[in-house]
Chain A
Amino acid sequence: MSSAASAYAQAPPPSQPAGLPRLLAGVPAHGALSLQEHLEIHGEAPRKPRRRRRSESPLIARIEAAGLLGRGGGAFPTARKLRSVASAGRRPVVVVNAAEGEPASLKDRTLMRARPHLVLDGGELAASSLGAEEVIVCVCAGARASAEQAAAAIAERSRAGDSSSPRIRLQLVPNHYLSGQESALVSYLNGRRALPTFTPPLPFEQGVGRAPTLVSNAETLAHLALIARHGPEWFRELGTPSEPGSALVTLSGPVAHPGVYEIELGAPLSSLIDAAGGATDGVRAALVGGYAGSWIDAGRLPSLALSDEYLAQHRARLGAGVVLLLSEHACPAAETARVARWLASQSSGQCGPCVNGLQALAMTLTETARGVARAKAEERIARLASLVQGRGACAHPDGAVEFILSAVQIFGSEFADHARLGTCEACALAGELPIPDAAARAHGGLRRARLA
Chain B
Amino acid sequence: MSYRLRVNPIACEAHGMCAELLPERITPDEWGYPLISAEPLPESLLEHARRAAQACPTLALLLERERARS
Contacts and interface: CB of A to CB of B under 8 A. Distances in A.
A391 B33 contact: yes
B14 A352 contact: yes
A340 to B, nearest CB: 18
A270 to B, nearest CB: 41
A354 B7 CA distance: 14
B25 to A, nearest CB: 16
B11 interface: yes
Interface residues of B, number: 14
Interface in A380-425: 387, 391-393
Contacts of B9: 198, 350-354, 391-393
A353 B33 contact: yes
B31 A351 contact: no
Interface string B9-46: 11111100000000000000111110100000000000
A197 interface: yes
* Interface hub of A350, A352, A357 (most chain B Cβ within 10 A): A352
B11 A352 contact: no
A351 B60 CA distance: 11
A382 to B, nearest CB: 14
A92 B35 CA distance: 37
B8 interface: yes
| Interface SS, B side | loop
A165 interface: no
B33 A350 contact: no
A356 B31 CA distance: 7
B10 A387 contact: no
Contact of A351 (B10, B32, B35): B10
Contacts of A351: 9-10, 12
B11 A198 contact: yes
B29 A393 contact: no
A16 to B, nearest CB: 43
A391 B13 CA distance: 13
A212 B23 CA distance: 40
Interface in A327-357: 350-354, 356-357
A393 B14 CA distance: 15
Nearest to B62: A198
B64 to A, nearest CB: 11
B68 to A, nearest CB: 15
Contact of A387 (B8, B11, B12, B29): B29
A-B pairs, top 10 by smallest CB distance, nearest first, are A351-B9, A352-B33, A356-B31, A350-B10, A198-B8, A393-B10, A198-B10, A393-B9, A387-B29, A353-B33
17 contacts: A197-B10, A198-B10, A350-B9, A351-B12, A352-B9, A352-B33, A353-B9, A353-B29, A353-B31, A353-B33, A356-B30, A356-B31, A357-B31, A391-B9, A391-B33, A393-B8, A393-B10
